[in-house]
Each structure stands twice: as structure tokens, then as C-alpha cells.
């Protein structure tokens, strides 16, 4: 962590935009911070709403069986968060309280529940849509937003453990799905221009775990499966990914037996907006008081 990064977090705390909870990457948000996110989401609606996506909101926890089926633990075990609960008898309870009193680890007897924390807004969607049967003619388009969890504690305010992702997800034939992703790379750039944010788009990879992960990272890059829209959030660090454009080919189609109307395995792509990162980019570029932002930016968001 560099000084600049730590001071950005301190400045956000002092301005009251983020609220310290004592855990790195877990913050409260002020009304002003939330207002920026709400307004930015309305701007997203203006860019994506005319396509008539089906809006679905899942809670920030998902069915553990769906999570297991998705293969997330193969690729990103280091980021996953599970929900465990106390399931014991009265004696177990007495022991648990004793553990707490003695300052010992009281969590070892906690048992996994049927819920895990959602790692990306689109994960609960694929099995849900596959359960409906084959996609209708033309495929599917969905609008999602969820808090997501990733276990990556950091003092960098752009790297949170709980943050929101707004997504559009397209399912259908490969050409339609790829055209959707292309289109959103252009829309994303225009959208950020409207709020005065400088962007660059670059090929990217997900943080696949371990030695085998290196191969997945290389594959993902060489096949151009992931692009990111990057915006400077910090004066010294390199620009930060604020949107991602992901083509999953038939990965989720095969995993969940998701079919097109003519019984082909569906392809999928998703476009994700990192809402907190975008808010941070806006505060970095236009100042910590959103009331003082340039008129054009205020017009685009509050107009």
C-alpha cells in the first residue's frame, strides 16, 4: 500500500463519505455517497433501459448448491465467502460462550448454511434462467444489481470486500452475445464521458488461483474474453477497472444446460459496473463535495 492510497481512504473518512467499521474493505456510506450511486444508476438506465432488459434483484447471498455448481471454488477459492451458523445443542452453546469469554476461537464449530455470499451479481442468474427452460427467440437480456463479497481486504478504498455491481447480462447465440458486449464497450465510454471521466479500455484477466490459474489467465487474455474500462481513481496508482465486459462463451450454458430456442447451448456475456469505484472516480476527479461538481456533470446526474 502506498501513502497516496492510504491518504485517499483517510480523506474519504474525514469527508464522511465512507465510514470506518474497523475492517479494511468494509465501510458505511454517507447519504451523499449513496446519492451519487443512485443518480449514476439512473444514468445507466438511460443508456440500457431502452433495450427492455428483465430486471431482477437477488439478495447478496446465493444458493450454495448453485455456487458449487458454478465452479467458482475451482477458480477463485481465495475470494469466496461462506455463511456459517451455530447449529448446536445447549451444551454446545455453553461451550461457545465459554470460548468467547476465554478469548478463544468460537467459530470453529459453526456449520455451513445453504447460503454463500454472492461473488458477482450474475452468478445466481444462470441457474435461475436455465430452470425456466430454453430461452425465447432472440435470447435473453437481464438487468441486475447486487452487493457482492470478495475476500480481498485492503486499505485501497477501490478494493472493498462488500461492494455493489450493476450488470447487464445477455444470453443467446454467440454473434448476438458478442455484439452486445461490443456495443456496451462503446456505450460505457460515452456514459463515462457524460460525467467527465477519462477512460481507457484494455484486455484483462480474472485473478484465477494458483499455478493452474496462470494458464486460465493467459487463455482469457489471448482469446479476448475480458475487457475492462479503466479510470484513474488515485493520482499515483495506475487506472482502476470500473467496468468489465466478459464473454463466457458456452461456460455457463454448459454448466447449467441453458439452451437457445433452437436447442443449441446458449452463450453468455455480462457487462458489470463497479458502482463504488465509479463513485470514487467521480469524487477523485470532481472533488469530495458533489454539490461543487462541474455543471455538465451535475446536469448528467441530477439534471
| Binding partner selected for residue 122 from Zn ion, ligand AMP, none, CB under the kind-specific 5 to 8 Å limit | Zn ion
Question: Is 274 a residue that touches ligand AMP (CB under 6 A)?
Answer: yes
Instruction: Give the residue with the Cβ less far from Zn ion, 44 or 270.
Output: 270
User: Going residue by residue from 117 to 146, which x/- string records binding to Zn ion, judged by CB under 5 A?
Assistant: ---x-x------------------------
CB of 201 vs ligand AMP, minimal distance in Å: 12
Instruction: Give the residue with the Cβ less far from ligand AMP, 143 or 228.
Output: 228
Instruction: Give the residue with the Cβ less far from Zn ion, 122 or 229.
Output: 122
152 within 8 A of 112, measured Cβ to Cβ: no
* Identified binder of ligand AMP from the candidate list 244, 255, 260, 290, rule CB under 6 A: 244
Question: Is 270 a residue that touches Zn ion (CB under 5 A)?
Answer: yes
| Binding partner selected for residue 150 from Zn ion, ligand AMP, none, CB under the kind-specific 5 to 8 Å limit | ligand AMP
Query: Cβ-closest residue to ligand AMP?
Result: 274
Instruction: Give the residue with the Cβ less far from ligand AMP, 129 or 169.
Output: 169
Binding segment toward ligand AMP, per CB under 6 A, in 12-20, 26-34, 52-60, 157-165: 157-165
Q: How far is CA 270 from CA 169, 173, 177, 226, in A?
A: 4, 14, 9, 10
Question: Is 197 a residue that touches ligand AMP (CB under 6 A)?
Answer: no
CB of 244 vs Zn ion, minimal distance in Å: 8
Q: Which residues contact 281 (CB under 8 A, 6 or more apart)?
A: 197, 231, 232, 233, 240, 242
Instruction: Give the residue with the Cβ less far from Zn ion, 17 or 62.
Output: 62
CB of 239 vs ligand AMP, minimal distance in Å: 11
* Identified binder of ligand AMP from the candidate list 9, 12, 116, 160, rule CB under 6 A: 160
Binding to ligand AMP, residues 55-114 (CB under 6 A): none
Question: Is 241 a residue that touches Zn ion (CB under 5 A)?
Answer: no
CB of 152 vs ligand AMP, minimal distance in Å: 5
Quick one: 154 exposed, middle or buried, by C-beta within 10 A (0-12, 13-18, 19+)?
Answer: middle
Task: Please give the residue ranges that form the binding site for ligand AMP (CB under 6 A).
Answer: 120, 150, 152, 159-160, 163, 165, 228, 241-244, 272, 274, 276-277
Amino acid at each position: 500500500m502506498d501513502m497516496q492510497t492510504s491518504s485517499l481512504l483517510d480523506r474519504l473518512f474525514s469527508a464522511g463519505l465512507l465510514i470506518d467499521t474497523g475492517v479494511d474493505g468494509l465501510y458505511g456510506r454517507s447519504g451523499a455517497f449513496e446519492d451519487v450511486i443512485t443518480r449514476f444508476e439512473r444514468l445507466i438506465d438511460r443508456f440500457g433501459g431502452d433495450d427492455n432488459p428483465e430486471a431482477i434483484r437477488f439478495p447478496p447471498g446465493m444458493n450454495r448448491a448453485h455456487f458449487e455448481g458454478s465452479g467458482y471454488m475451482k477458480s477463485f477459492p481465495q475470494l469466496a465467502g461462506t455463511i456459517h451458523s451455530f447449529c448446536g445443542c445447549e451444551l454446545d452453546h455453553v461451550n461457545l460462550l465459554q470460548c468467547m469469554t476465554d478469548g478463544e476461537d468460537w467459530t470453529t464449530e459453526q456449520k455451513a448454511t445453504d447460503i454463500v455470499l454472492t461473488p458477482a451479481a450474475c452468478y445466481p442468474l444462470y441457474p435461475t434462467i436455465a430452470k425456466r427452460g430454453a430461452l425465447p427467440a432472440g435470447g435473453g437480456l437481464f438487468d441486475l444489481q447486487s452487493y457482492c463479497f470478495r475476500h480481498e481486504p485492503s486499505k485501497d478504498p477501490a478494493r472493498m470486500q462488500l461492494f455493489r455491481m450493476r450488470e447487464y447480462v445477455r444470453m443467446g447465440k454467440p454473434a448476438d452475445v458478442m455484439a452486445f458486449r461490443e456495443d456496451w464497450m462503446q456505450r460505457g465510454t460515452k456514459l463515462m464521458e457524460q460525467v467527465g471521466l477519462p477512460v481507457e479500455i484494455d484486455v484483462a484477466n480474472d485473478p484465477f488461483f494458483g499455478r493452474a490459474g496462470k494458464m486460465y489467465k493467459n487463455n482469457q487474455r489471448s482469446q479476448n474474453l475480458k475487457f475492462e474500462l479503466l479510470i484513474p481513481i488515485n493520482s499515483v496508482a495506475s487506472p482502476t477497472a470500473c467496468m468489465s465486459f466478459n464473454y463466457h462463451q458456452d461456460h455457463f450454458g454448459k454448466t447449467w444446460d441453458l439452451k437457445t430456442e433452437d436447442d443449441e447451448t446458449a452463450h453468455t456475456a455480462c457487462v458489470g459496473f463497479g458502482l463504488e469505484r465509479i463513485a470514487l472516480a467521480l469524487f477523485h476527479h470532481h472533488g469530495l463535495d458533489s454539490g461543487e461538481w462541474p455543471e455538465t456533470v451535475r446536469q448528467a446526474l441530477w439534471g
